[in-house]
Structure 1
Amino acid sequence: MNNQGLQNQPGSQPGSFGGYGGSLAVDRQRVLRNTYLLLALSLVPTVLGAWLGVQTHLFEGMRHGLTSLVFFVGAIGLMFLVEKNKNSGWGVAFLMGFTFFMGLMLSRLVGAVLGLSNGPSLIMTAFGGTAAIFLAMASLATVVKRDLSGLAKFLFVGAVILMIAGIANIFLQSSALMLTMLVGVLGVFSAFMLVDVKRILDGGETNYISATLALYLDIYNVFQALLSLLGIFGGDRD
């Protein structure tokens, strides 16, 4: 059927109620709604993992290099399982396991910040700041009309560079490089929030489990970078 014939069909006008445009919009909103619900749920295992890690001092005596190795192997393995099972209920189960693991890995930073006299307030500030950034980027995604695929490629390159710099800093132990990386992570993954929400709204991501995984990683990295920066510059060590 040609375009003219399609346009002559009842209810087939883009954006009309019951038409293709309306159906696509409903599907995209459903994916976004399910993503936000699962994202909120995923924060519960993260908090539990962080609490357990702090209480048990799980990574306290572990070398930084070994901790990084556990992080990369565990995170990549669990992300693979999430993506492999994204079309079944197992995908949700593996996602919850992944977020619990990420909470465990966050516990070393959280424990260090809690060791500061104003540690709890810094954590709440980092949480509030992360929420504000996410709200701003998600809102911006609803009004941006241009295609952001070019920005996504640029951000991916930036994320790879940051990962390489992070591996290098395990051996270099440079404070200047660490601060540069934290600022870079904050900027790159804040922008990734915009890109990932926009991709859902544009129909580029139709699986809410994959969408949740992407947004969770954005939020996790922004929170971690923000908390680290607040601990460095705003921590009260008295």
Structure 2
Amino acid sequence: MNAERTLRTSRAQTALATNSVLRNTYMLLSLTLLFSAVVAGTAMALNAPHPGLIITLVGYFGLLFAVEKTKNSAMGLVSVFALTGFMGYTIGPILNLYINNFSNGTEIVMLALGGTGTIFLGMSAYALASGKRFNQWAGMLFMGILVAFVMSIIAVVFSIPALSMAVSALFVLLMSGLIVYQTGEIVHGGETNYITATVTLFVTIYNLFLSLLQLLGVFMGEE
């Protein structure tokens, strides 16, 4: 009897902890997306230049390292907003490029934004409704993202448009899978740190948006 009661208590505590991580993750994700959008809008208004590939990579990985080192303290929140703000800044000049170079640039941006939101909500809903844990996807997603990242660097350095398009399409698939995987990990207790979960989902949304933006620009862009 005592063992059964202990088991029930343990399950209840686990469920409460999981709900707390999920709630805190979505709350922080909403705030970081809003903050990133404000920074991106400011960069657009100021017509700020893009920092370039090297500074972007150094800034991203440096701030990502800071998040990892501080994720269990209050400074973790500062690191998260520093990272997401920086990433928002890098988006601003890209959006200006599309809006200024395409007569339907604003439409392309809005479609990419809508597509990103639809995919995120759809994949999250699937992960929540399925009741499954998708931890078996981890290795495949990691290798896929690593390959896509290397390919994207090659496409930029050697200016290969076809490869860049292929990478964007691959990223859309990988980021969709990562949303399902990360949400499943949160729900089933595989991810217990809401700061880490938030950063993973934010980066996923960031890459998904830019990938859709590039694909839509290629297929729909009107000069």
TM-score range relative to shorter protein: over 0.9
User: TM-score, with normalisation over the residues of structure 2?
Assistant: 0.93
How big is the shift at 1:127?
1.4
> How far, CA to CA, are the matches of 1:146 and 1:89 in structure 2?
32
Query: Which of the two has greater helix per residue?
Result: 2
Match of 2:44 in 1: 54
> How far, CA to CA, are the matches of 2:90 and 2:168 in structure 1?
17
The verdict on how the C-alpha distance between 1:147 and 1:31 changes in structure 2, with shifts beyond 3 A counting, is closer
How big is the shift at 1:178?
0.7
> Number of paired residues?
222
- Residue 84 of structure 1 pairs with residue 69 of structure 2: yes
How big is the shift at 1:50?
1.4
Residues 133-182 of structure 1: per-residue CA shift (max 9 Å, x gap): 11111111123344422211101101100111112122321111011000
How big is the shift at 1:234?
1.4
Q: Which structure 2 residue ranges, 5 or more long, are not aligned? A: none
- Residue 43 of structure 1 pairs with residue 28 of structure 2: no
Match of 2:183 in 1: 197
1:151 to 106, 112, 137: 137
Match of 2:80 in 1: 95
Ranges of 4+ aligned residues in structure 1 off by more than 4 Å:
none
**SS of residue paired to 1:12:** helix
Residue type of the partner of 2:153?
I
1:213 to 199, 207, 213: 199
Residue type of the partner of 1:96?
F
Q: Which structure 1 residue ranges, 5 or more long, are not aligned? A: 1-6
Residues 118-144 of structure 1: per-residue CA shift (max 9 Å, x gap): 222222221111111111111111233
1:25 to 15, 19, 27: 15
Larger radius of gyration: 1
How big is the shift at 1:59?
2.3
How big is the shift at 1:117?
2.2
> How far, CA to CA, are the matches of 2:107 and 2:12 in structure 1?
45
Residue type of the partner of 1:86?
K
